[in-house]
């Protein structure tokens, strides 16, 4: 039983990263119809930025947790203005290709400067040690990640459902032309929303720094798993993306623990789940069928 | 042509959609001249380039044409074609090493395996279109990558398959120069097959599906089945390229299955020109040559350059090389006739 709870907890923690990344992808996709391939690269930049800030400027974790997401959000907004914006009227495939190219560039830039080896990042002292939950104890840092990620997801949910900005974003996601016809300047919100999504990726990166190896390729394979996650949840659905993120984290952790004779299972199970979902509900668990193209 | 009947076979489009159509509409002598230039270039290539690079160009030309068959003529962007290229590379390598069969047989076995793998992946992937199709194919290719990575007893994991023989009835093909001419007929056959598919009634239906799936469905065409057939054929051609690549390098590593390989194939097609078929061949030649030159001059960040090319092409040059040239020639032609 203790083992089961421990596995479940670890699954939720890795699910938290999927959820944060999938959430950013879903928000960006909803507003811009852009699937951002560079999302994994921004996650990597978040972690690398935190590492560089600490080692070269002595900036602590807590400051990095604020600086990196904001900084990357600004970078994201500049990127949207400079490039992505030019292609949003065209087939979404062009922006997918553009962000793929950007991914290669960002990865290689970091690789040129810092090499490919992984760099360790010290867990902040306030979050070292572990929390005793009676029957078992967990590393404090992981408890923090889980709590923080859930808080962010709930916060975004609240923002979308209870504020005027959220209402505008939801309306322009559903019916951009109609929203425009009501006199709302949809275009004004596109750039901030893109920046916001990128900021979430950066945030996930900073959170990952003390827990995972910081290297230029840390986001490369992760982004493909996150793509599978959003296909499972339904790309248009923000709730679906978050739920599928946590769900896949759990399924992977259980697979790893109970099918440990087959290490392949935990790596590939997400794709198998995706295949089943495609057979059963092609639009994703929480997605709606897109209009036939 | 006074008939107003609109069938998928001559799906009316306001403008020529691609350079290929421009070429097909060009006068006969232009087409034969282009064909002759292409064939002569192919025959001359290893004399002007390092033969190993010429071999790579041939393999990548097949890969690009396979991707363009889907992207340009069926309207499906596969971002997971490394699954077929790489699977065929591994199967070809294993057959050649363990059974010692002549390399064309090994390559055929590899390509058939790739086509067989394309059946289930394609069956699931064609349920989605557009950007979703790209994400789904990408995800399945990653599944194949992980399986190859874990299945070390067969694929040798990170070490890769080494010493893939170039067996062909006792001929000495160790020199890349001779090997180039040994694979050239196979590559030309693959390219001709792609051309034949595009210009067949089947290919016209594919274009019809690309342009208006709802109408194709209304006319009674089983859209999913057409797309799946195109996907499997494309997997086979990509497999031909991957198998030859394995024999060409005498070595297969996990790179052949990685998503960067899938992405590179799409870059090559976009650079050459989507929906131009031969543009992909041109794109393959440029990218392979450029990468060889970069790695030869000791430049480490190849992704910086390929990524940069990608960004520039997508932003400024979406018709690609072949598409742009074809558009220029068409305009010149129209002006002259006026």
Question: Residue B13's pLDDT is what?
Answer: 33
Q: Which of A71, A12, A10 is nearest to A46 (CA)?
A: A71
CB-based contact A242:A153 (threshold 8 Å): yes
Query: Would residue B184 count as lying in a domain?
Result: yes
CB-based contact A48:A114 (threshold 8 Å): yes
- How many residues can be counted in chain A? 293
Q: Which of A87, A102, A282 is the closest to B307 by Cβ?
A: A102
CB-based contact A267:B143 (threshold 8 Å): no
Query: Would residue B92 count as lying in a domain?
Result: yes
H or E stretch including B108?
Answer: helix B103-125
List, for residues A145-190, the tens digit of each pLDDT value: 899 999 999 999 898 889 888 888 888 877 778 888 888 887 788 8
Q: Which of B125, B131, B302 is the closest to A96 by Cβ?
A: B131
Rounded-to-integer distance, Cα A36 and Cα A106, Å: 14
φ and ψ at B81, to 5 degrees?
Answer: -75, -10
Residues near A174 by beta carbon (within 8 Å), at least 6 away in sequence: none
Question: Residue A154's pLDDT is what?
Answer: 92
Structure tokens at A153: 């997801």
Q: Is A263 in Cβ contact with B302 (below 8 Å)? A: no
Domain region containing B121? 18-337
What residue spans of B151-256 are helical by DSSP H?
A: 152-155, 176-198, 201-211, 213-218, 223-249
Structure tokens at A221: 């394979």
The domain total for chain B is 1
CB-based contact A197:A24 (threshold 8 Å): yes
Q: How far is B4 from chain A (nearest CA, A)?
A: 25
CB-based contact A205:A43 (threshold 8 Å): yes
- How many residues can be counted in chain B? 338
Question: Residue B331's pLDDT is what?
Answer: 81
Q: Which of A35, A105, A264 is the closest to B146 by Cβ?
A: A264
Please state, in angstroms and as integers, the Cα–Cα distance from residue B188 to each residue in A163, A194, B61, B175, following that order.
Answer: 62, 46, 10, 21
Q: Tell the residue number behind the tokens 């390729």, with chain if given.
A: A217
In a 13 Å sphere around the CA of A139, the CA atoms on its Cβ side amount to 12
Residues near B125 by beta carbon (within 8 Å), at least 6 away in sequence: A278, B76, B78, B133, B136, B137, B140, B231
Mean pLDDT of the region A264-268? 78
Q: Tell the residue number behind the tokens 């090994």, with chain if given.
A: B106
Rounded-to-integer distance, Cα B262 and Cα B189, Å: 23
Structure letter (DSSP) for residue A286:
S
Please state, in angstroms and as integers, the Cα–Cα distance from residue B41 to each residue in B32, B54, B285, following that order.
Answer: 14, 11, 11
Structure letter (DSSP) for residue A186:
T
List, for residues A17-43, the tens digit of each pLDDT value: 999 999 999 888 888 888 899 999 999
Rounded-to-integer distance, Cα A98 and Cα A91, Å: 12
Query: Would residue B3 count as lying in a domain?
Result: no
Rounded-to-integer distance, Cα A91 and Cα B132, Å: 12
Which residue out of B143, B213, B306 would a mutagenesis test of the A interface target, given it has the greatest number of A Cβ atoms within 10 Å?
B143
Sign of CA dihedral B118, A248, A269, A36: positive
φ and ψ at A135, to 5 degrees?
Answer: -80, -20
The complex scores an ipTM of: 0.83
* % of chain B with per-residue pLDDT over 90: 21
Numbered residues of chain B with Cβ closer than 8 Å to any chain A Cβ? 77, 79, 124-125, 127-132, 134-136, 138-140, 142-143, 146-147, 150-151, 213-214, 259-260, 263, 266-267, 270, 300-304, 306-311, 314-315, 318
Rounded-to-integer distance, Cα A247 and Cα A41, Å: 23
Question: Residue B338's pLDDT is what?
Answer: 66
Show residues of chain A in contact with B270, CB under 8 Å: 97
Structure tokens at A142: 């992981």
CB-based contact B267:B306 (threshold 8 Å): yes
CATH number for the domain harbouring residue B156: 1.10.3470
Q: How far is B260 from chain A (nearest CA, A)?
A: 9
List, for residues A207-263, the tens digit of each pLDDT value: 988 888 888 888 888 898 898 898 888 877 888 889 999 999 999 888 888 887 777
Rounded-to-integer distance, Cα A205 and Cα A17, Å: 9
Rounded-to-integer distance, Cα B274 and Cα B327, Å: 13
Show residues of chain A in contact with B314, CB under 8 Å: 87, 94, 97-98, 101
Q: How far apart are the first and last CA of chain A?
A: 49
Rounded-to-integer distance, Cα A148 and Cα A62, Å: 13
Residues near B73 by beta carbon (within 8 Å), at least 6 away in sequence: B198, B203, B206, B207, B210, B230, B275, B277
**pLDDT tens per residue across all 338 residues of chain B:** 333 333 333 333 333 344 455 555 667 787 788 888 888 888 788 887 888 888 899 999 999 999 999 988 888 888 999 999 999 999 998 888 888 788 888 899 999 999 999 999 999 888 888 888 888 898 889 889 988 888 877 778 777 787 777 777 767 677 888 888 888 999 999 999 998 898 888 888 888 888 888 888 888 888 889 999 999 999 999 999 999 999 888 888 888 888 889 988 998 998 888 888 888 898 999 888 888 888 888 777 778 888 888 898 888 888 888 888 888 887 887 787 76
């Amino acid at each position: 039983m203790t083992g089961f709870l421990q596995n479940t907890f670890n699954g939720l923690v890795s699910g938290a990263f999927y959820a944060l990344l999938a959430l950013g992808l879903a928000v960006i996709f909803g507003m811009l119809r852009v699937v951002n391939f560079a999302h994994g690269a921004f996650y990597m930049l978040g972690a690398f930025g935190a590492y560089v800030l600490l080692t070269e400027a002595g900036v602590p974790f807590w400051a990095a947790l604020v600086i990196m997401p904001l900084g990357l959000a600004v970078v994201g907004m500049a990127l949207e203005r400079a490039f992505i914006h030019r292609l949003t009227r065209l087939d979404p495939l062009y922006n997918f290709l553009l962000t793929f190219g950007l991914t290669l560039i960002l990865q290689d830039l970091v690789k040129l400067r810092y090499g490919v080896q992984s760099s360790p990042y010290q867990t902040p002292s306030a979050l070292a040690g572990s929390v005793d939950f009676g029957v078992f104890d967990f590393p404090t840092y992981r408890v923090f990640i889980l709590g923080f990620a859930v808080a962010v997801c709930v916060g975004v949910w609240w923002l979308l459902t209870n504020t005027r900005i959220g209402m505008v974003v939801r309306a322009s996601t559903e019916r951009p032309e109609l929203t425009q016809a009501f006199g709302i300047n949809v275009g004004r919100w596109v750039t901030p929303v893109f920046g916001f999504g990128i900021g979430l990726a950066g945030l996930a990166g900073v959170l990952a720094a003390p827990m995972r190896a910081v290297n230029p390729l840390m986001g490369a394979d992760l982004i493909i798993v996150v793509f599978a996650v959003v296909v499972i949840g339904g790309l248009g659905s923000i709730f679906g993306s978050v739920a599928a993120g946590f769900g896949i984290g759990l399924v992977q952790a259980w697979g790893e623990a109970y099918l440990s004779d087959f290490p392949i299972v935990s790596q590939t199970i997400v794709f198998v789940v995706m295949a089943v979902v495609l057979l059963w509900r092609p639009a994703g668990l929480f997605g709606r069928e897109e209009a036939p193209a | 042509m006074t008939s107003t009947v609109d069938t998928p076979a001559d799906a009316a489009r306001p403008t020529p959609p691609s350079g290929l159509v421009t070429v097909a509409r060009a006068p006969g002598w232009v087409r034969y001249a282009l064909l002759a230039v292409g064939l002569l270039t192919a025959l001359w290539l290893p004399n002007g380039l390092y033969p190993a690079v010429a071999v790579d160009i041939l393999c990548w030309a097949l890969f690009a044409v396979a991707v363009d068959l889907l992207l340009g003529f069926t309207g499906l962007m596969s971002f997971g074609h490394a699954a077929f290229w790489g699977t065929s590379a591994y199967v070809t390598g294993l057959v050649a090493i363990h059974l010692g069969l002549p390399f064309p047989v090994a390559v055929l076995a590899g390509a058939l395996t790739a086509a067989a793998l394309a059946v289930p992946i394609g069956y699931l992937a064609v349920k989605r279109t557009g950007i979703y199709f790209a994400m789904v194919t990408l995800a399945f290719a990653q599944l194949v990558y992980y399986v190859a990575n874990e299945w070390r007893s067969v694929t040798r994991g990170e070490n890769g398959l080494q010493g893939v023989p170039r067996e062909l009835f006792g001929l000495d093909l160790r020199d890349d120069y001779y090997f180039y001419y040994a694979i050239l007929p196979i590559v030309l056959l693959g390219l001709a097959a792609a051309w034949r598919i595009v210009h067949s009634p089947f290919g016209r239906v594919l274009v019809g599906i690309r342009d208006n799936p709802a109408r194709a469905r209304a006319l009674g065409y089983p859209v999913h089945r057409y797309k799946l057939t195109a996907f499997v054929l494309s997997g086979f051609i990509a497999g031909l390229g991957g198998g030859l690549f394995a024999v060409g390098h005498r070595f297969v590593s996990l790179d052949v299955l990685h998503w960067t390989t899938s992405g590179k194939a799409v870059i090559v097609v976009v650079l050459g020109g989507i929906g131009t078929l031969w543009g992909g061949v041109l794109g393959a030649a440029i990218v392979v040559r450029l990468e060889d030159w970069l790695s030869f001059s000791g430049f480490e960040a190849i992704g910086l350059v390929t990524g940069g090319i990608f960004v520039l092409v997508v932003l400024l040059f979406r018709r690609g090389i072949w598409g742009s040239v074809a558009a220029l020639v068409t305009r010149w032609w129209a002006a002259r006739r006026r």
